[in-house]
């Protein structure tokens, strides 16, 4: 089965066998593009094509089937180098601003092959930003003079954020605020410059009045397409859509060094109707981290930034080497609901599916499904943790006590999690660890069709980031304060989390 996805004037993403393969195909598939002199052999579900003509019909064909599509129209192609963008320039930000301003409504800005240094760019509505094959847009090393996004803009919208709260933040190398009908596409590379300057030396601090930037930041955008590009070397979170609606990300490559701090791959926060398909992510923190804002602690009572994330699809993705493959929270105060994870592969992540929250967050994580996923070399494959020790008070008795606390609007709820048809290979610590709150147990956790084998060389390690838990090695399904429905074979490996060790 062929699926056409993420069409722009000059590029297209096609998914091959997305209904039965994960990220890699079971066997290579030869393809050709009728109407253009293009073809090749794909080893992966996503096939990204560029160099097409606008408003033109093509047929993508394999030996088994074919699908026809028409590219989007383009009102005008602007070459960034015609406005002074130059490979040898120390900072092309002003030249890029002129080029972006020149793009007509419905037009395209082309960044051709070459290495272009720049400060932050601000995109606009009704445009395509095309990083062509061989183009590298890299952030300058010196943050002096970088624009700073305030907590709120002139209309009162939150635009500066940090880990779920409004906060002044350095603008991202590519920033889009309040844009509609925006596409960012191409085989080129967006390099956030995390290894240049001092970004990774102050991961949790504020300097010059601002927090670290993301590499690609989208705020209050609608009808957005991200396709094909490589995003790498991020100062903090890599791709961060905030309060966006109707976003499709397809065939992206997101890469950060394993030791880079807090460099999550893709963080949809308070977004609705999001599709993440055919992504390959290897980063220094969580690969896909779903957020919905967080309540402050102490005297911080702000709530204007909190909104739900709902109707999110994650399919045919490959996640490698991060702390978690698909993660929800711990910033989840606005609710994370209706998330479908299917036909993905996780390799070498500390945890596979990870849900994390704590007292004081409020909100719910609910109606989550995971099906047909293979995990290789994970620490704890399935993790639900309502005692996550984040924030300054995270290890306090109020957060970590196993005695029931009063239930109010700051009590987080986790419910209706359906997990089926998983192959867990090379598990080190536990197939699953589920720790709810005594006053708000995990409810409606359903498990079926899970096969498990273990890494014989593994040593005991941490299953969840919570206090008062012993290390584990080769454990089955550990639980406490969780209501689990499991088939007979899995019921046999259920064990109280406190009995491990």
Active site residues: 285, 323
Three-state DSSP class for residue 208: coil
Q: Verify cis geometry, omega within 30 degrees of 0, for the bond prior to 330.
A: yes
Tokens of 487: 């088939």
Three-state DSSP class for residue 200: helix
Q: Which residues contact 359 (CB under 8 A, 6 or more apart)?
A: 386, 398, 399, 405, 410, 411, 412, 437
> How far, in Å, CA of 263 to CA of 219, rounded?
19
CA angle 443, 448, 452 (to 5 degrees): 115
Smallest CA-to-CA distance from 476 within 436, 430, 423, 426 is with 430
| Phi and psi at residue 100, to the nearest 5° | -65, -40
Kind plus residue range of the DSSP H or E element containing 375: strand 364-376
Is 453 in contact with 387 (CB distance < 8 Å)? no
Give whole-number Cα distances, 177 to 8, 152, 171, 319, 485, in Å: 20, 12, 11, 28, 44
DSSP secondary structure of 9-66: SSEEEEEESTTT--SEEEEEEEEEEETTTEEEEEEESEEEEE-PPTT-EEEEEESS-E
> How far, in Å, CA of 437 to CA of 252, rounded?
37
> How far, in Å, CA of 43 to CA of 27, rounded?
7
Q: State the sign of the Cα–Cα–Cα–Cα dihedral 476, 481, 486, 491.
A: positive
């Amino acid at each position: 089965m062929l699926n056409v996805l993420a069409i722009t004037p000059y590029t297209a993403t096609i998914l091959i066998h997305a209904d039965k393969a994960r990220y890699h195909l079971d066997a290579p598939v030869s393809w050709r593009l009728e109407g253009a002199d293009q073809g090749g052999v794909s080893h992966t579900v996503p096939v990204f094509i560029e160099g097409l003509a606008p408003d033109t019909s093509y047929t993508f064909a394999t030996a088994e089937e074919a699908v026809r599509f028409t590219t989007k129209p383009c009102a005008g192609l602007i070459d960034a180098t015609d406005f002074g963008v130059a490979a040898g320039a120390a900072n092309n930000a002003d030249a890029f601003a002129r080029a972006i301003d020149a793009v007509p409504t419905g037009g395209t800005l082309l960044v051709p092959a070459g290495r272009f240094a720049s400060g932050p760019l601000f995109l606009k509505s009704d445009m395509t930003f095309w990083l062509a094959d061989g183009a590298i847009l890299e952030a300058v090393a010196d943050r002096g003079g970088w624009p700073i996004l305030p907590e709120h803009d002139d209309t009162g919208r939150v635009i500066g954020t940090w880990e779920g709260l409004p906060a002044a933040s350095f603008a991202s190398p590519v920033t889009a605020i309040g844009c509609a009908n925006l596409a960012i596409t191409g085989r080129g590379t967006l390099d956030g410059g995390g290894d240049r300057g001092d970004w990774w030396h102050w991961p949790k601090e504020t300097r010059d009045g601002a927090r670290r930037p993301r590499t690609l930041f989208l705020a209050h955008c609608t009808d957005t397409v991200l396709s094909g590009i490589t995003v790498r070397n991020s100062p903090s979170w890599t791709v961060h859509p905030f309060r966006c609606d109707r976003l499709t990300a397809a065939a992206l490559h997101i890469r950060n060094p394993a030791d880079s701090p807090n460099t999550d791959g893709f963080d949809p926060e308070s977004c609705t109707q999001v599709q993440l398909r055919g992504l390959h992510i290897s980063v220094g923190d969580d690969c896909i981290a779903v957020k919905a804002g967080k309540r402050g602690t102490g005297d911080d009572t702000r709530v204007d930034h909190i909104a739900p994330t709902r109707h999110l699809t994650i399919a045919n993705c490959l996640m490698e080497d991060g702390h978690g493959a698909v993660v929800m929270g711990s910033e989840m105060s606005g609710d994370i609901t209706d998330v479908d994870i299917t036909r993905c592969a996780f390799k070498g992540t500390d945890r596979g599916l990870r849900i994390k929250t704590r007292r004081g967050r409020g909100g719910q994580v609910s109606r989550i499904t995971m099906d047909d996923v293979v995990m290789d070399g994970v620490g704890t494959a399935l993790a639900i943790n309502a005692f996550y020790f984040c924030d300054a008070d995270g290890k306090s008795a109020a957060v970590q006590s196993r005695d029931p606390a009063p239930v109010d609007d700051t009590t987080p709820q986790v419910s209706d999690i359906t997990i089926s048809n998983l192959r867990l290979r090379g598990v080190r610590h536990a197939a699953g660890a589920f720790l709810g709150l005594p006053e708000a147990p995990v409810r409606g956790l359903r498990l079926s069709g899970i096969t498990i084998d273990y890494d014989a060389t593994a040593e005991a390690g941490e299953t969840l980031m919570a206090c008062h838990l012993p290390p584990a090695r080769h454990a089955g399904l550990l639980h406490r304060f969780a209501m689990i429905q499991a088939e007979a074979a899995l019921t046999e490996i259920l064990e109280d989390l406190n009995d491990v060790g």
